[in-house]
Amino acid sequence: MAKSLKIKVRSYREEDREEASKVAYKAFNNILDAKWATWGLSGCEKVLVAEVDEKVVGVVELESFWFKDKLHGYIYYIFVDPIWQRQGIGSTLLREAEFYFKGREAKYLWATTGKSNFKVRKFFEKNNYKNVEPKELRKRYSRREFKYLLWHLYYWSEDVIYLKKLE
């Protein structure tokens, strides 16, 4: 039987920077994503790291914004060292991110990824995030609200949008 991992999630500290940035460069094929994810370590409003045996193996970077009088959370980047993937670390980070936003009384948590990034799409769907079509959002909101929302989601036309209602 596979041994279950001891994953510890805690807040990011500035001294984690080098280790966390290395994880980003290993996790992303795209150097731009690795660069922005490294920027997010100190640029995002809240960052959580996952440790195994006191080593940083995964990171989630979080932002929030007010929309229609409610606080909304956004997953800016989530990444796990490839040799530690598929062992529940990403899902653990996501659960802790949800817990953090619930503590702030946020009602929704959003995420975006590339349409063709099937692995990440599967990851969000497995964690009960619902794929929302931009045209659905456009019907629900005014043009101005729609633009404001997409701007906070860093949305561009090749993206898919995921949403989870925080109970």
Counting residues that bind ligand COA (by CB under 6 A) gives 19
Q: Residues 131-137: contacts with CB within 8 Å, 24+ apart?
A: 131/160, 131/161, 131/162, 132/161, 132/162, 132/163, 133/161, 134/161, 137/161
Question: Alpha-carbon distance 162 to 128, whole Å?
Answer: 9
Interface residues for ligand COA in 115-144 (CB under 6 A)? 119-120, 122-123, 126
Structure tokens at 3: 């041994």
Interface residues for ligand COA in 69-88 (CB under 6 A)? 77-80, 85-88
Q: Which residue is closest to ligand COA by CB?
A: 90
CB of 119 to ligand COA, least distance (A): 4
The strand pairing partners of 111, in sequence order, are 162
Question: Alpha-carbon distance 123 to 162, whole Å?
Answer: 11
CB of 75 to ligand COA, least distance (A): 7
Candidate list 27, 47, 62, 106; residue touching ligand COA; CB under 6 A: 27
Residue 30 vs 140, nearer CB to ligand COA? 30
Q: Is 113 in the site for ligand COA (CB under 6 A)?
A: yes
Residue 77 vs 110, nearer CB to ligand COA? 77
Structure tokens at 89: 């670390």
Alpha helices in 28-140 (DSSP H): 31-43, 89-103, 118-126, 134-140
> Interface with ligand COA by CB under 6 A: which residues?
27-28, 77-80, 85-91, 113, 119-120, 122-123, 126
